[in-house]
Structure 1
Amino acid sequence: MVRGRGPRTGSTREEHGRGVLGHRVLRATGRPPLRRAVNLGLPAVWGALAISYKMACPLAQQNGLGARVATSAVFFMVGAGLILHVRRVLLRELRQIRRVAGAAQNVLLRPLPPRIDGLDIAAAQLSADHGASIGGDLYEAIATEHGVRVVMGDVRGHGLGAIGTAAAVLGSFREAAHDEAELGGVLRRLERALARHLRERDRAEHSSAGLDPEGPAAEEFVTVLLLEIRGDGEVHALNCGHPWPYLLARGHVRPLVRVEPLPPLGPFPLPARLPAEPCGRLRPGEGLFLHTDGAEDARDARGRFFPLLPALAAAVRDGPVVPQAVLRAVFTGLLRHTGGRPDDDVALLVLHNDRRPLALKQGRVSQHVPR
């Protein structure tokens, strides 16, 4: 009997996404058997040559100065060859690791298009771990029938655990942004995805240690900011412990809203009602600056915080809001302030409303249409 397949759920798609990531990682790390044999066999050959020279060559048995010099030269050449071989293998492994990191980053934090539904976008992330290309910060922007929906989040901690949590939240958002009519429904989906991920991770960790799972650790949490920018420029938001964005316009910068956010996702359940916070209208020419707390909390050698608001004001003081220019100015200032070594991951996302206003006969603006 042939069984029909049910509707494709969010968890199934998340498993498919993990499968794609695993396929790309395996493809990036695959090593031909011949290369493995060469990597293992070459040092053995060098060692065998050195031993054969010492045991069989008559010159190596002599104690004269010339014989000792020749023996030392032989062993020096063998040692130098082994060092060069090891160095070449390590450099090859480093290139493989960087390819793996690039493949993972393209799946987890895929590059955003420069323009979505009339909004110019620029985003970037800076990892605090030296050599790392991804961390616990996350962002995404998607055009839906409900408007352009944006998420910006920050997972507590660093390392593989934070990356896995970020992947779970992002995978859920990419589905829920299209499926849920209300922004509150999207946030509830993120909460369920996070709880499921933490349960599965906790069960796997306890099973590997031979212990019984006790449930997800209470210390795990994710700050999340959800934005919905509708076709007429109206902005609605839900904020769980994340910094509020800044509204950018030529010559001035101000916080988008000054409402106390909800607690971060994880430690506490969401309230029964989740009405989205109205944030006014994003008019043509204006922009939004979203960031993680690593931008405002970055300190210099004297312990002073990075002046984010003055940096933004300087970036839009003499010209229009250009996302790439704002991003470049803030990152340049932040790296200069921290001496090129920030203590926390930093993610920035800049939106600019480039929609053309459509006026009525009476001269009033009715809506904004993308160019």
Structure 2
Amino acid sequence: MRRVQGDATTLTRPGRAGDRPLPWLRGRHAVWALPALLLVLIVFGDLWTGTDFRMIAWVVMVPALTAALAGVGATVVFSVLSLLAYLLVDGVLSPGPETGLPGLLLLVAASVVSVAACGVRQANERRARRLSLAADVVRDTVLRPLPFHWGGLDWSALYVTADHVARVGGDFYDLQPSPHGTRGVLGDVQGKGLGAVAAAAVLLGTFREAGYHEGRLRDVARRLETRMKRQQVYSRFLGQDEGDRFATAVVLSFDPVEPGTVRSGTSGLDLVTLGHEPPLAVGPDGVRPLPSSDGVPLGMGELACDVPEDGGPRIVRGGLEPGETLLLFTDGVTEARDRHGAFYSLHEDLARAVVEDPGLARPDRLVRYVRDAVERHVSGSRWEADDLTVLALKPLPVEPQREEFP
């Protein structure tokens, strides 16, 4: 699955046995090295300086450092080792004003406080892990994981929220195979917070059902408009002051391909843009924008002027040439600003990049390029970041069915 979520991608590969670190240098045992090294340095430093300069009182730092890095058990162990080292060194050298009983009592108090603080830290970490797990469940519920080559499409996606703690925001996307072709949606709910997440969730649920059952893309878009209106009414009855929340979206439908055939020539698709920028067709020969239907955002259907006689938004017909990838994106890409306030120019940047490297049109490479380009553009920017979503789609060739003989 070529799916990128969040702002990092982890690559793993099998390693040889000789490349693996020793067990005590891996995982939670590695953090023991720092307090152990500090304890040894303090002890030998105090013995080396002798009575001229006593350093053993600094051993109070060892339990504190252990509490910040390791668990309660390790903090207790290093607290005991620090007490023993203090008694041993202070017995070898004559006690001074900064050592003796006052220093011992200070070390005992520091050890008790360190163990207690470590317990509090670990409890907070467990709570944070539970919240993180809950956020992951919410994200995977709203943005369901999609299989590789889903709906006959080679696809790749990037989803980065402005709130890295919540891990889910108002951006949404999905792909839904159906008897009428593979449908897709990418959108952005106005605003932030739980209200935006709730609106994105209900729109995705509606799309998954309507995208499968409705024969016309216009009816899919109409169902989304109705669901957004219902969400507005529902929020008002709950007493949530969200105004007239709306969502921009691109809804599309690839032509179905009969089994047993091979897709050749232009891959046709129907497209409706609802207050959203039209997608780009990116290929080895360049970048071109697809036509826009100039529809109004979801939840604002009453403002539409150019409405067909049968109702619903206007649908435009487009197509992808062989080798082209359809690139959809939210305003987190086009409204990304650099330190001087200049917006990122996606079209011009991609046009230059594909001339230098035609292989960039592949969906996974295209998404990674956009991610890296936006990161470079906003580096050092003081402007507030927005949710960022990119979806790249490329129709796969349909292999002819093979006859099976007994």
Q: Do the aligned partners of residues 329 and 140 (structure 1) sit closer, same or farther apart at CA in structure 2, a change above 3 Å counting?
A: same
SS at match of 1:144: coil
Q: Deviations over 1:230-251 (max 9, x none)?
A: 0362211122101100011213
Structure 1 residue 111 displacement after superposition: 2.4
Task: Judge conservation of contact 1:315–1:326 (CA < 8 Å) in 2.
Answer: no
The equivalent residue for 2:278 is: 244
- Aligned runs of 1:284-303 on 2, under 5 Å? 284-303=322-341
Q: Deviations over 1:216-264 (max 9, x none)?
A: 75431111211011036221112210110001121300101155x1221
Structure 2 residue 193 is the aligned partner of structure 1 residue 155: no
**CA distance, structure 2, for counterparts of residue 146 and residue 258 of structure 1:** 22
Task: Judge conservation of contact 1:126–1:345 (CA < 8 Å) in 2.
Answer: yes
Of 306-315 and 87-96, deviating more is 306-315
Task: Judge conservation of contact 1:315–1:329 (CA < 8 Å) in 2.
Answer: no
The equivalent residue for 2:296 is: 263
Q: Which residue among 230, 239, 255 is the counterpart of 1:230?
A: 255
Bigger proportion of residues as strand: 1
Q: Deviations over 1:179-227 (max 9, x none)?
A: 1111121112112222222322322236xxxxxxxxx754311112110
Task: Judge conservation of contact 1:234–1:282 (CA < 8 Å) in 2.
Answer: yes
**CA distance, structure 1, for counterparts of residue 289 and residue 184 of structure 2:** 17
Task: Judge conservation of contact 1:311–1:329 (CA < 8 Å) in 2.
Answer: no
Percent of pairs with identical residues: 34
SS at match of 1:331: helix
Task: Judge conservation of contact 1:253–1:313 (CA < 8 Å) in 2.
Answer: yes
**Which letter does structure 2 place at the counterpart of 1:169?**
L
Task: Judge conservation of contact 2:203–2:228 (CA < 8 Å) in 1.
Answer: yes
Structure 1 residue 68 displacement after superposition: 4.4
Structure 1 residue 75 displacement after superposition: 2.5
Of 278-287 and 137-146, deviating more is 278-287
**CA distance, structure 2, for counterparts of residue 97 and residue 357 of structure 1:** 45
Structure 2 residue 361 is the aligned partner of structure 1 residue 328: no
The equivalent residue for 2:378 is: 338
The equivalent residue for 1:221 is: 246
Q: CA RMSD in A?
A: 2.6
Task: Judge conservation of contact 2:222–2:313 (CA < 8 Å) in 1.
Answer: no
**Which letter does structure 1 place at the counterpart of 2:185?**
V
Q: Do the aligned partners of residues 141 and 191 (structure 1) sit closer, same or farther apart at CA in structure 2, a change above 3 Å counting?
A: same
**Which letter does structure 2 place at the counterpart of 1:80?**
S
Q: Which residue among 279, 285, 291 is the counterpart of 2:317?
A: 279
**CA distance, structure 2, for counterparts of residue 114 and residue 197 of structure 1:** 32
**CA distance, structure 2, for counterparts of residue 283 and residue 118 of structure 1:** 16
Q: Do the aligned partners of residues 356 and 313 (structure 1) sit closer, same or farther apart at CA in structure 2, a change above 3 Å counting?
A: farther
SS at match of 2:110: helix
**CA distance, structure 2, for counterparts of residue 290 and residue 74 of structure 1:** 62
Q: Deviations over 1:75-104 (max 9, x none)?
A: 222211121111111111121111111111
Task: Judge conservation of contact 1:176–1:186 (CA < 8 Å) in 2.
Answer: yes
Q: Deviations over 1:47-78 (max 9, x none)?
A: xxxxxxxxxxxxxxxxxx95544443332222
**CA distance, structure 1, for counterparts of residue 347 and residue 217 of structure 2:** 28
**CA distance, structure 2, for counterparts of residue 193 and residue 274 of structure 1:** 14
The equivalent residue for 1:123 is: 157
**CA distance, structure 2, for counterparts of residue 306 and residue 129 of structure 1:** 21
Of 317-326 and 175-184, deviating more is 317-326
Structure 1 residue 158 displacement after superposition: 1.4
Q: Do the aligned partners of residues 201 and 258 (structure 1) sit closer, same or farther apart at CA in structure 2, a change above 3 Å counting?
A: closer
Q: Which residue among 167, 171, 174 is the counterpart of 2:205?
A: 171
Structure 1 residue 296 displacement after superposition: 0.5
Structure 2 residue 392 is the aligned partner of structure 1 residue 350: yes
**CA distance, structure 1, for counterparts of residue 396 and residue 295 of structure 2:** 31
Q: Deviations over 1:295-324 (max 9, x none)?
A: 011001111111211332245333342100
Q: Do the aligned partners of residues 280 and 286 (structure 1) sit closer, same or farther apart at CA in structure 2, a change above 3 Å counting?
A: same
**Which letter does structure 2 place at the counterpart of 1:273?**
G
Q: Extract unaligned runs of 5+ from structure 2.
A: 1-71, 77-98, 258-266, 401-406
**CA distance, structure 1, for counterparts of residue 148 and residue 172 of structure 2:** 17
Q: Do the aligned partners of residues 198 and 219 (structure 1) sit closer, same or farther apart at CA in structure 2, a change above 3 Å counting?
A: closer
**Which letter does structure 2 place at the counterpart of 1:296?**
T
Q: Deviations over 1:129-177 (max 9, x none)?
A: 2434211100001111111101111001112111111001001100111
Task: Judge conservation of contact 2:246–2:300 (CA < 8 Å) in 1.
Answer: yes
Task: Judge conservation of contact 2:199–2:228 (CA < 8 Å) in 1.
Answer: yes
Task: Judge conservation of contact 2:278–2:328 (CA < 8 Å) in 1.
Answer: yes
Structure 1 residue 340 displacement after superposition: 7.6
Task: Judge conservation of contact 2:295–2:314 (CA < 8 Å) in 1.
Answer: no
Q: Do the aligned partners of residues 315 and 143 (structure 1) sit closer, same or farther apart at CA in structure 2, a change above 3 Å counting?
A: farther
